[in-house]
Structure 1
């Protein structure tokens, strides 16, 4: 199925599909959070409501108690959460830094201030709720006091025993190390990242599968580079067929023939022939023993004729020009490298 707004580039398509998958995943995560969050308890027309609560009903001396201040508000109601100084928690002590969380719902919002407290005395205590100043949806400034909370702290010691009897009780053995509570939020984010990675991987696999469908052109392997002698013999045949000698274009004929010879020597023997004068070229060839004596003679005779035509404006006979072409062709044919096992089956054009 073709989608008209998709880009043509394969990389751009992959990026677009990954972004769409990530957006879908975050949308699912947001919907799941909304469905899992309990609805507001606000009554119709009520701007603000708050309460203090604890996670459990039974509390002992020395045990941590999770205390939560929960504030629900209607849309367009503005207020600030109280700080620790506004909360009168005595005789409870705050043990950990407070955690503030915010939940957005369709008909308002909920803010949660979580505190971990601990008590060192037993008995029943009343924690007064803080007073909040807020501005309602009509811009009127009002105040609201959170209802107080009754907390009962019990002792782990036996009841109805005198102090002398309690002092005679043996101490319990020391407990071992206690592990930290699990951090489910990190596990949730890890699950989201794993799901996102799986989605991106699936999208990339799908895109690759569709782009590799039958009917698409498969990339052709690069053609093997032509050998130096094959290039030279082909260019010599083309120069011979150009009929430059009949039109007496000797200068262009020798220019092309000289370029063919120099490029062949340069690629075949790795000599910078195109950058040398004829004299430097011949001296370098003689010093390196790259060519045999008879091949050096063919090259010397050709370069002498070529320099006369190009620089001395000499006009040779057509037969002399054809002889120079045959000299270069003979030089190429007799200096063809030995064929390797891989190229032994490939015929060399123009070489017997």
Structure 2
């Protein structure tokens, strides 16, 4: 009876602890960069789980893992790692931890020697000689097309920006824009009621300043820096301003000089007439420019 119990106990122990952890290293001596195989197997697994380091993290630092594959069946676990070492010397694969069914097991350690098989003075030759390839226009286009297209896009953007800036400047300095701007300035002058209050000096100072600025920008005559007599001479020599408008500018400017130096004291009717004449001159200026363009053929 005791013998039967002993045999039963041994059979039970084998069935419980029957799994076997084994490892195998294909080569112990490797050339630099040579790929070797390290294999771990667990047999008679009996459906138990196996836990080890994650993929590509089982071997130490110097061992560059190329491939790490795990195969598991009901009674067999197999992990195959292909690796290479890129330094000369002796390196150790330590005892690695594997937990099987909640119990920790260790593989046996291995020592690997890595050698440089190339000898000093060995001549390294290409497998085949370099071959000259002639490139055609299509080949150069494929090589540099993106650079060329980028350069063309940049040039196009620069041209577009230049044209926009030029258009805005021309638009800002166009006769119509300048005329409208000056008319608004004259309207603002009228709202100050210098005529009604008899402040003739302030009225003529601002009226002539507005007109000088207008002539400078509209007719390209330096009215802002010329004395009244010199300005009248330049207008007559320039022939850009019509005789009718020249006469109005001359009369108002001469009267303004007399007012500034207190040599004359105009009444409200005279001030109102000078304002209306100057406003009419500004509105008619575009006709002067049209005539000038026809005369010069621009």
Same-fold status (TM-score > 0.5)? no
Q: Taking structure 2 as the reference length, what is the TM-score of the superposition?
A: 0.42
With normalisation by structure 1, the TM-score equals 0.36
